[in-house]
Chains A and B, each alone.
Chain A
Amino acid sequence: GENVEQHPSTLSVQEGDSAVIKCTYSDSASNYFPWYKQELGKGPQLIIDIRSNVGEKKDQRIAVTLNKTAKHFSLHITETQPEDSAVYFCAARTGASYGKLTFGQGTILTVHP
Protein backbone atom coordinates (compact mmCIF):
# COMPACT_ATOMS: atom_id res chain seq x y z
CA GLY A 1 0.00 0.00 0.00
CA GLU A 2 0.85 3.68 -0.04
CA ASN A 3 3.40 5.07 2.43
CA VAL A 4 3.79 8.80 3.10
CA GLU A 5 6.77 10.26 4.95
CA GLN A 6 6.65 13.85 6.23
CA HIS A 7 9.49 16.09 7.42
CA PRO A 8 10.27 17.86 9.62
CA SER A 9 8.25 16.73 12.61
CA THR A 10 8.59 20.16 14.23
CA LEU A 11 9.34 23.55 12.67
CA SER A 12 9.87 26.84 14.47
CA VAL A 13 10.03 30.14 12.55
CA GLN A 14 9.85 33.84 13.24
CA GLU A 15 6.82 35.82 12.13
CA GLY A 16 7.28 36.93 8.54
CA ASP A 17 9.65 34.09 7.62
CA SER A 18 8.76 31.30 5.20
CA ALA A 19 8.04 27.71 6.22
CA VAL A 20 8.46 24.61 4.06
CA ILE A 21 7.18 21.12 4.85
CA LYS A 22 8.09 18.16 2.64
CA CYS A 23 6.44 14.81 1.97
CA THR A 24 7.42 11.78 -0.06
CA TYR A 25 5.10 9.02 -1.24
CA SER A 26 5.73 5.50 -2.44
CA ASP A 27 2.91 4.62 -4.85
CA SER A 28 3.43 6.06 -8.33
CA ALA A 29 -0.32 5.60 -8.96
CA SER A 30 -1.18 8.28 -6.37
CA ASN A 31 -2.89 11.21 -8.06
CA TYR A 32 -4.29 13.52 -5.38
CA PHE A 33 -2.32 15.26 -2.63
CA PRO A 34 -4.16 17.36 -0.03
CA TRP A 35 -2.71 19.33 2.86
CA TYR A 36 -4.59 19.69 6.13
CA LYS A 37 -4.18 22.12 9.02
CA GLN A 38 -5.20 20.99 12.50
CA GLU A 39 -5.59 23.49 15.30
CA LEU A 40 -5.54 22.40 18.92
CA GLY A 41 -8.64 20.45 19.88
CA LYS A 42 -10.15 20.54 16.39
CA GLY A 43 -10.44 18.27 13.40
CA PRO A 44 -8.15 18.65 10.36
CA GLN A 45 -9.20 21.21 7.76
CA LEU A 46 -8.16 21.20 4.11
CA ILE A 47 -6.01 24.21 3.21
CA ILE A 48 -4.82 23.33 -0.30
CA ASP A 49 -4.60 20.34 -2.60
CA ILE A 50 -2.91 19.40 -5.86
CA ARG A 51 -3.55 16.77 -8.50
CA SER A 52 -0.96 14.80 -10.42
CA ASN A 53 -1.51 16.71 -13.67
CA VAL A 54 -0.37 19.98 -12.06
CA GLY A 55 3.12 20.92 -10.87
CA GLU A 56 2.30 23.87 -8.63
CA LYS A 57 -0.72 25.54 -7.07
CA LYS A 58 -0.93 28.78 -5.08
CA ASP A 59 -3.55 30.31 -2.83
CA GLN A 60 -2.49 33.63 -1.34
CA ARG A 61 0.36 32.88 1.10
CA ILE A 62 0.19 29.11 0.61
CA ALA A 63 1.61 27.10 -2.27
CA VAL A 64 2.12 23.42 -2.98
CA THR A 65 4.58 21.89 -5.45
CA LEU A 66 4.57 18.37 -6.82
CA ASN A 67 7.44 16.42 -8.38
CA LYS A 68 5.96 13.20 -9.76
CA THR A 69 9.30 11.85 -10.94
CA ALA A 70 10.83 12.10 -7.49
CA LYS A 71 7.52 11.29 -5.80
CA HIS A 72 7.57 14.20 -3.43
CA PHE A 73 5.45 17.26 -2.75
CA SER A 74 5.92 20.29 -0.52
CA LEU A 75 3.89 22.94 1.28
CA HIS A 76 5.23 26.50 1.27
CA ILE A 77 3.87 29.17 3.58
CA THR A 78 5.20 32.70 3.04
CA GLU A 79 5.00 35.68 5.40
CA THR A 80 4.06 33.43 8.31
CA GLN A 81 1.79 34.75 11.05
CA PRO A 82 1.21 33.50 14.62
CA GLU A 83 -2.19 32.15 13.55
CA ASP A 84 -0.40 29.78 11.16
CA SER A 85 0.80 27.87 14.24
CA ALA A 86 -0.81 24.42 14.05
CA VAL A 87 -0.14 20.82 13.04
CA TYR A 88 0.04 20.29 9.28
CA PHE A 89 -0.57 16.95 7.59
CA CYS A 90 0.12 15.89 4.03
CA ALA A 91 -1.75 13.00 2.45
CA ALA A 92 -1.86 11.00 -0.75
CA ARG A 93 -4.60 9.09 -2.55
CA THR A 94 -4.22 6.42 -5.21
CA GLY A 95 -6.55 6.53 -8.16
CA ALA A 96 -8.67 3.48 -7.46
CA SER A 97 -8.91 3.75 -3.69
CA TYR A 98 -12.37 5.38 -3.37
CA GLY A 99 -11.01 8.41 -1.59
CA LYS A 100 -8.88 6.57 0.92
CA LEU A 101 -6.12 8.89 2.07
CA THR A 102 -2.76 7.90 3.52
CA PHE A 103 -1.48 10.61 5.86
CA GLY A 104 2.00 11.71 6.81
CA GLN A 105 3.00 11.84 10.46
CA GLY A 106 2.38 15.58 10.82
CA THR A 107 4.50 18.71 11.37
CA ILE A 108 4.05 20.97 14.37
CA LEU A 109 4.60 24.52 13.10
CA THR A 110 5.23 27.27 15.63
CA VAL A 111 5.40 30.89 14.48
CA HIS A 112 6.99 33.20 17.06
CA PRO A 113 5.80 36.84 17.11
Chain B
Amino acid sequence: NAGVTQTPKFQVLKTGQSMTLQCAQDMNHNSMYWYRQDPGMGLRLIYYSASEGTTDKGEVPNGYNVSRLNKREFSLRLESAAPSQTSVYFCASSEAGDTQYFGPGTRLTVL
Protein backbone atom coordinates (compact mmCIF):
# COMPACT_ATOMS: atom_id res chain seq x y z
CA ASN B 1 0.00 0.00 0.00
CA ALA B 2 2.00 2.97 -1.32
CA GLY B 3 -0.62 5.66 -0.58
CA VAL B 4 -0.16 8.65 -2.90
CA THR B 5 2.74 8.59 -5.33
CA GLN B 6 4.03 11.43 -7.50
CA THR B 7 6.44 11.56 -10.42
CA PRO B 8 8.87 13.08 -11.05
CA LYS B 9 10.42 14.11 -7.70
CA PHE B 10 12.44 16.95 -9.26
CA GLN B 11 12.21 18.79 -12.58
CA VAL B 12 13.93 21.75 -14.18
CA LEU B 13 12.24 23.41 -17.15
CA LYS B 14 13.00 26.35 -19.39
CA THR B 15 10.39 29.07 -19.85
CA GLY B 16 7.85 27.97 -22.45
CA GLN B 17 8.41 24.22 -22.08
CA SER B 18 5.57 21.92 -21.17
CA MET B 19 5.36 19.01 -18.79
CA THR B 20 2.91 16.75 -16.98
CA LEU B 21 3.08 15.90 -13.29
CA GLN B 22 1.72 12.46 -12.51
CA CYS B 23 -0.17 11.38 -9.39
CA ALA B 24 -1.63 8.04 -8.42
CA GLN B 25 -3.33 6.72 -5.28
CA ASP B 26 -4.08 3.15 -4.24
CA MET B 27 -6.58 3.87 -1.45
CA ASN B 28 -9.66 3.77 -3.69
CA HIS B 29 -10.44 7.41 -2.86
CA ASN B 30 -12.99 9.32 -4.89
CA SER B 31 -11.50 12.80 -4.51
CA MET B 32 -8.09 14.04 -5.63
CA TYR B 33 -6.39 17.43 -5.41
CA TRP B 34 -3.40 19.37 -6.72
CA TYR B 35 -1.74 22.03 -4.53
CA ARG B 36 1.27 24.25 -4.89
CA GLN B 37 3.40 25.29 -1.94
CA ASP B 38 5.36 28.53 -1.93
CA PRO B 39 7.36 29.98 0.99
CA GLY B 40 5.18 31.88 3.47
CA MET B 41 1.96 31.09 1.59
CA GLY B 42 0.95 27.67 2.81
CA LEU B 43 -0.63 25.30 0.30
CA ARG B 44 -2.91 26.69 -2.37
CA LEU B 45 -5.39 24.56 -4.29
CA ILE B 46 -4.86 24.52 -8.06
CA TYR B 47 -7.51 22.02 -9.21
CA TYR B 48 -9.48 19.23 -7.67
CA SER B 49 -11.56 16.27 -8.77
CA ALA B 50 -14.47 15.44 -6.48
CA SER B 51 -15.01 12.12 -8.27
CA GLU B 52 -13.93 10.27 -11.40
CA GLY B 53 -15.00 12.19 -14.48
CA THR B 54 -15.22 15.63 -12.81
CA THR B 55 -12.67 18.39 -12.32
CA ASP B 56 -12.98 21.92 -10.96
CA LYS B 57 -10.82 24.96 -10.51
CA GLY B 58 -9.33 25.82 -7.17
CA GLU B 59 -7.78 29.04 -5.93
CA VAL B 60 -4.91 29.37 -8.46
CA PRO B 61 -5.80 27.49 -11.71
CA ASN B 62 -4.32 29.87 -14.29
CA GLY B 63 -1.56 28.27 -16.39
CA TYR B 64 -2.55 24.70 -15.48
CA ASN B 65 -4.77 21.94 -16.79
CA VAL B 66 -5.72 18.63 -15.22
CA SER B 67 -6.95 15.21 -16.28
CA ARG B 68 -8.64 12.64 -14.08
CA LEU B 69 -7.51 9.65 -16.10
CA ASN B 70 -9.35 7.09 -13.95
CA LYS B 71 -10.17 6.68 -10.27
CA ARG B 72 -6.50 6.17 -9.37
CA GLU B 73 -4.75 8.83 -11.45
CA PHE B 74 -4.91 12.61 -11.60
CA SER B 75 -2.37 14.52 -13.70
CA LEU B 76 -1.40 18.20 -13.77
CA ARG B 77 -0.14 19.78 -16.99
CA LEU B 78 1.81 22.97 -17.52
CA GLU B 79 1.40 23.89 -21.19
CA SER B 80 3.90 26.77 -21.28
CA ALA B 81 5.91 26.98 -18.08
CA ALA B 82 6.70 30.37 -16.54
CA PRO B 83 9.18 31.27 -13.75
CA SER B 84 6.17 32.09 -11.52
CA GLN B 85 5.31 28.39 -11.59
CA THR B 86 8.51 27.49 -9.75
CA SER B 87 7.12 25.75 -6.69
CA VAL B 88 6.64 22.47 -4.88
CA TYR B 89 3.56 20.63 -6.13
CA PHE B 90 1.61 18.22 -3.96
CA CYS B 91 -1.10 15.79 -4.93
CA ALA B 92 -3.60 14.57 -2.33
CA SER B 93 -6.56 12.24 -2.15
CA SER B 94 -9.47 11.78 0.21
CA GLU B 95 -12.65 9.84 0.71
CA ALA B 96 -15.89 11.82 1.12
CA GLY B 97 -13.95 15.09 1.44
CA ASP B 98 -12.47 14.08 4.77
CA THR B 99 -8.85 13.44 5.69
CA GLN B 100 -6.55 14.31 2.81
CA TYR B 101 -3.49 12.14 2.26
CA PHE B 102 -0.58 13.85 0.55
CA GLY B 103 2.11 12.58 -1.77
CA PRO B 104 5.82 13.38 -1.34
CA GLY B 105 5.77 16.32 -3.75
CA THR B 106 7.42 17.40 -7.01
CA ARG B 107 9.98 20.20 -6.85
CA LEU B 108 9.76 22.21 -10.06
CA THR B 109 12.12 24.98 -11.15
CA VAL B 110 11.37 27.06 -14.23
CA LEU B 111 14.33 29.02 -15.57
Interface residues of A (CB under 8 A from B): 1, 4, 6, 9, 32, 34, 36, 41-46, 49, 89, 93, 97-106
Known: A42-B104, A99-B97, A101-B100. A106 touches B42 (CB 8 A): yes
Q: How many residues of B contact A (CB 8 A)?
A: 27
**Do residues A100 and B58 form an inter-chain contact, with CB atoms below 8 A?**
yes
A82 to B43, CA, bound (A): 25
Mark B37-56 against chain A: 1 for CB-CB distance below 8 A, else 0.
00011111100101000001
The answer to whether the Cβ of B102 comes within 8 Å of any Cβ in the partner chain is yes
**Do residues A44 and B90 form an inter-chain contact, with CB atoms below 8 A?**
yes
Interface residues of B (CB under 8 A from A): 4, 31, 33, 40-45, 48, 50, 56, 58-59, 90, 92, 94, 96-105
CB distance from B11 to the nearest CB of A (A): 16
**Do residues A99 and B41 form an inter-chain contact, with CB atoms below 8 A?**
no
